[in-house]
Amino acid sequence: MNRAATVAPVRRKLETSGGPIRLDLLSNPFGPSIRVQEALAAEDELHLHDLRRDRRLKERLAELSGVPAEWIVLTNGADEALHMCLLAHRGRGPALLFTPTDPNQARLAQLAGVETYTHPRSHRFMVETGLTTEFVAPPASLAVVQSPNDPTGTILETTETVRLSRRFERLVIDERHAEYGARSLTPLVREFENIAVIQSLELWAGLNGLPIAWVIAPPKLAREIEAHRPSARVAAAAVVAALATLDDLTYVRATVRRIRDEKLHLFRTLRKLNLLQPLPSWANFILARIERGDAAAIQQQLAQRDIFVYRPTEPELPRHLRIAAATPETTRLLKEALIDIARDLP
């Protein structure tokens, strides 16, 4: 690792005291590259749409993904990207969701007027279909999988990706958290005509305030998705922010590595407590099963200490909390709070 990548995260200081600790949020706690602010401040025509700027962003994203620019569809965030994929499939068949997963998938399908079926994940919260698995959803379905998945942190394996692409008419893989994971499934887009991958700078690059995402798909599928754009264009400010982020990837990826390392520290810390059991995760957060006490009560007691964590609403996760990684200091404060809470539990 070069020195610039090592010291880059110190450009921004992360406050860990004197205010609430937001371990319920998934955006990069270090925020965006400082070059984003500089680029936005230097622009005086953000009210005008610049097709050349959009094209430049598509070309740079295509280069990162190893595909032609025509395979890239720019969108105003990952949710809009998924919504466009669902709209493109409307009238062809339902959507198949693998639960537990992000409840926004079902909400967006409803908004798109697409019927949904669900299929349970395995006891490890993985998508494990197997060659003999029976699906309620018909073959004409659009299978939607988030990888890494929110809130479980599990990934979609390559073998399961191939099986799903062969069983269903289309497969959309939402990789909005993938920068924290082991790998991207983008190479499979070049091998299968019915696979689309959604990627985004919103969360891992700290651009959730300027949502920007893109769909990587073969040309025919990309054109169908593009045709269902709900807005006339991608926001100019988001495009400028994305280009500035790509100019400073060394810094942003250094913060990602720092958060990834802290997630491992958080996992080891939680595992040593007898209050909850953390589950392995490929994202920047950990899903933990409550071993003593009640999940809602523990969430509330943490909130009383100004530490906020997320309690999933999925019925498959009644005793779980999702906890994001931030810094060693936030992990220490969380540990002290949990030890304090555990003293009053039977």
Domain ranges of the chain: 3-32+250-342, 34-247
| Phi and psi, residue 287, nearest 5° | -90, 125
Q: Is the pTM of this model over 0.75?
A: yes
Integer Cα distance of 96 and 172 in angstroms? 10
| Phi and psi, residue 151, nearest 5° | -110, 10
pLDDT of residue 3: 44
Residue given tokens 């790509």 in the structure block? 246
CATH architecture of 3-32+250-342: Alpha-Beta Complex (3.90)
pLDDT of residue 18: 59
Query: DSSP secondary-structure letter at 55?
Result: H
Name the fold adopted by 34-247: Aspartate Aminotransferase; domain 2 (3.40.640)
pLDDT of 8 higher than 60: no
Nearest to 325 by CA among 336, 334, 338: 334
Mean pLDDT to the nearest integer, 144-155: 98
Beta bridge partner(s), residue 286: 323
pLDDT in tens, 282-336: 999 999 999 999 999 999 999 999 999 999 999 999 999 999 999 999 999 999 9
Task: Note whether 142 and 167 are within 8 A (CB).
Answer: no
- Chain-centroid distance of CA 320 in Å reads 19
What stretches of the chain adopt beta strand conformation (E)? 21-22, 72-75, 95-99, 116-120, 142-146, 170-174, 195-200, 213-216, 276-278, 285-290, 307-308, 320-324
> Residue 132: which pLDDT band, with cuts at 50, 70 and 90?
confident
